[in-house]
Structure 1
Amino acid sequence: PVHLEILVPILQSWIPDVPSLHFLRFFLYESPNWNRFIARKKSISVCSRENPRLFRFLYNSYLSEYESVFCFLRRHSFYLLSTSSGNFLERIHFYGKIEYILVVCRNDFQKSLQFFKDPRMHYVRYQGKSILASKGTYFLMKKWKCYLVRFWQCNFSFWSQPYRIPINPLSKNSFDFWGYLSSVLINSLGVRSQMLESSFLIDTVTQKFETIVPVILLIGSLSKAQFCNVSGDPISKAVWTGFSDSDIIDRFGRICRNLSHYYSGSSNKQSLYRMKYILRFSCART
């Protein structure tokens, strides 16, 4: 059950009327039909699923509040990337060991820079799971893991154990995380609205998010997985030749569906069609 004193502050950001919040708290406490959904103790566990609509409402409300705060911190952390972290490290070593500046820049300084290699976190929620991906080191991911546990405990009274958050190292060309690590391009989109009964026109400029299809990286991944050569020409998947035809078609179809799911929002369909072309001819040759 979800604790009432946590649910009400979450709703407070949506309902500015304070008397309505007090009435809602009184109603939830006094209504006997809500006893099985509201926890009287301070413990947190999974909400009862006897009422699916209530469960989805509480789950989405709690998760939306968490993601709004976490994504806010994540966006503001990007501003730190505008200043090179190497300048900070160089100043620390410069004032501390000025007589060894040449040795520091050649040895320790380059090793320290590896820790700050692309520290940005990519966040996505997919099929009930929250996934964080980064190109940082294992030590950096471990720091993020400890931060998330403290963040949940202090801000949302959500007690979780660190061992429940696994850290899985991914290869550079991982099929499962193509879409999660894809780039996003922001374009300006002009929209014109016109009234039918008059000649009144409204021009609106909005931000349009475009998913970039990384053709070179995808061809490199397909080549490494032996679906094509380095030039993008389809070849037979020799490892799958021992499977039945239905199994081979199902495997290729699953990969094509994942590609369409990740990159269908891109306006550049030619790149997506090229990837499907490689997979289809590789399937036919297999």
Structure 2
Amino acid sequence: ILVQTLRYWVKDASSLHLLRFFLYEYRNWNSLITSKNSISIFSKRNQRLFLFLYNFYVCEYESIFVFLRNRFSYLRSTSFGALLERIYFHGKLEYLVKVLTKNFRVILWLFKDPFTHYVRYQGKSILSSKGTSFLMHKWKYYLINFWQCHFSVWSQSRRIYINRLSKHSLDFMGFLSSVRLNSSVVRSQMLENSFLIENTIKKFDTIVPIIPLVGSLAKAKFCNVLGHPISKSVWTDLSDSDIIDRFGRIRRNLSHYYSGSSRKKSLYRIKYILRLSCARTLA
């Protein structure tokens, strides 16, 4: 990560090779210039530098989604720095079009009308877009080639999965997200004739994941693995008011976090487990 980050700052190729050799061989040498203990930035206890370098390196190739998102903002007032950065970005896109058109005889019509949402969560990157499976495979192919050409990010295509939200659920931030079809029938009448109009609307659906939540409550000793409430034996020495306050705080936090879910049936079961566990702890 350090070498990949410094390649944007250092233009001398020989210096980069020397730095790569130094970092690779350093762990095998007992001493080189100074001892290992004196260099604190390479110790396992201090991970802030490596975390900063990793985030900086990831943000470099994630910047493409920012420009694709704001590509329709030409009529707005643009700062000088943002204008130069946008010109540099479109230069990269033109280069990518020339390379792919020359080698594979394709046209990047995909970038004409992007409709995407991107998020990175717990080391996983999620890219959502509307379209067919063929369109998503094109996104996958173009992004991998773009990152390899300009950012030296070698992604393995087999580690990138394409799932349709209409058939598969996405586990994200404690929710099970999917897209389901809602049908609505409207009866219209014109003079003596009447007819039905059926409209199908795609709705983004979020479900409370009952199995992971029950597993978390079982680890915390609020219930068993089957979801049957049990007494919280660790809290039996506390006063009744403290026990009620702790159970109430957990219940309120879960209610607030999952209040935006469209299906709350699983949430009601979690509340029931906590309520009965609180009663058995007070008994």
Alignment TM-score, normalising by the size of structure 1: 0.40
Q: Which is strand-richer, 1 or 2?
A: 2
The structure with the larger Rg is 2
